[in-house]
Structure 1
């Protein structure tokens, strides 16, 4: 089968198309012929050598994909050959075929074609699972950084749907308009004093979903209300920062960090089931709209990575096989 191969970590030139054996499904696993693959920041980090897959997982990049079931392993009950599925993966999505545990496959959202569906599950699972960690409640103030990206766009709408006041940060007027158009009550340019603007508008945040990491750690703590919770899910701004524990203590705040990729299969299966039961109906009735989408041919994987990190990208990039 054709797959994207990285023989040595590096820039986009490290991404090459080659041939490798088609995987076989083991007990409880499903073989899927890929229709489309979602492109994520984690893919870029893996290509650069900063985010290796869990032990025993393929080196092929790709954390989400859609496709058609091509075979099933022993004990698989829900899926049959020909079923359309979307998958939450620990790796392997940038390939003509992939294998996934049965519980990490769900039906695509109602009314969404398989190409668009390829870019929904990883984002939905990330947002749902982490806002559960943060215990976001109706009436609270929710802040998401990177509000115009795939995570930010989805998180804005999901938080709004559960009754939160939503604040987003982004880096340009067009991206701030995007945040507001997708439900943000307030949108602030991160080049400016967004902490001051947040406090003036809302008094502070109860929950912060942070893709930046070290660079924003002190600012995030400063932005918290009493009892506020920060969940760090990305390290675009570095892995090592300083933290004023006295301020965190005074605010009785919490800082958590999570990774969806490294969770046990049983946890991922539970999250996928929750997405199917809780989030898909929100897509069906319009409470959540799909992010703007850029489709590229699978062979243009280098261009996809270049666009994702270029700073002008809005919404989701999907590779079409």
Structure 2
């Protein structure tokens, strides 16, 4: 099949609000050795894309300078040495950037097959959140069956993924959300306890629910004043993993609870990590999580789908109440 020389990509005309996201023609990428070229059918929209749009999270060196960290589609071309996938295979992939486009090139080690029964729209909502949750909750946080797990923002893309994975691997799941509707959605996904932070103090609620024992692993995207509260609600030998700081990165910490309860406060970012590091997460996911996607035990929760050219509208929706993932579809998407 003859591939086009150009494609549509949604690029950034400066830094600012959603209006800086503009579709325009760009050269189609060519896969380098060890890469595959994906004909993108769907791409996930994530909070880091918003930060990049605002000028706060630039693309790593060598990555396309437009947003997009995850895509799903079909293999359109193979770079030299590519051997795992064949032309036409359905794949999803974690990207360092450039997913808001008709085509994306990625190291084949950072791509995964789409399980049977999973649509390409659903698949586009998997890589960024599943890689992030697996690494931070299970690898860094060391969550195991029987432990208590807390995720803030339980109906975000990260939150809905974390609920399902933690529950599937035997944890007791607590979430904080901002409305009764989101409490209901979290419980339906598998959370055991949903706390509306607008109505009650999550620290007191969790202490009451756990008989004062607290939380073993916390996944936090909020930062700011939540940091001290996460320390307060942590169980002995608890682990708190920071992956964002929507309420601020500069915080004052009381060291006493860390010392008295032997706590671990850690965190990570994923985008700039090496191909090899991301490949190691991909292998773990394929072994331990892909069977759950294949049998329908877990599913990415899709909130809204927009055409690629309406990426600005999708970003505006990120600031509204939404539950699950927001997805863009390209001209290749057939429904």
- Per-residue CA shift, 1:147-193, capped at 9, x if unaligned? 01111111111111111111000000000111111111111112221
Unaligned runs of 5+ in 1: none
Pairwise CA distance, 1:315: 0.8
* 2-structure distance, mates of 1:304, 1:251: 43
Match of 1:83?
89
Q: TM-score, normalised by structure 2?
A: 0.93
2:100 to 94, 98, 123: 94
Find the aligned partners of 1:4 and 1:127 in 2 and give their Cα distance.
27
Q: Secondary structure at the match of 1:95?
A: coil
1:283 equivalent to 2:293? Answer yes
**Residue aligning to 1:217:** 227
1:196 counterpart = 2:217: no
SS of aligned partner of 2:91: strand
Length, aligned pairs only: 320
Aligned to 1:166: 173
Distance in 2 separating the partners of 1:284 and 1:40: 24
Q: CA deviation at 1:19?
A: 1.2
- The question of 1:107 aligning with 2:113 is answered yes
1:72 partnered with 2:78: yes
The answer on whether the counterparts of 2:203 and 2:233 sit within 8 Å (CA) in structure 1 is yes
> CA separation of 1:100/1:127 partners in 2, compared to 1, >3 Å: closer, same or farther?
same
Secondary structure of the 1:20 match is strand
2:192 maps to 185
Do the aligned partners of 2:45 and 2:327 also contact (CA within 8 Å) in 1? yes
- Alignment of 1:148 onto 2:142: no
The answer to whether the Cα contact below 8 Å between 2:122 and 2:301 also exists between their aligned partners in 1 is no
Q: How far apart, CA to CA, are the structure 1 residues paired with 2:168 and 2:43? A: 27
| Structure 1 residue ranges (4+ consecutive) displaced by more than 6 angstroms after TM superposition | none
Does the aligned pair in 2 maintain the 1:116–1:293 contact within 8 Å?
no
TM-score (norm 1): 0.97
> Structure 2 CA distance, aligned partners of 1:180 and 1:82?
38
1:314 paired residue among 302, 305, 323: 323
Q: Does 1:257 align with 2:267?
A: yes
Give the C-alpha shift of residue 98 in structure 1.
Answer: 0.7
What is the distance in 2 between the residues matched to 1:237 and 1:215? Answer: 7
CA RMSD of aligned residues (A): 1.1
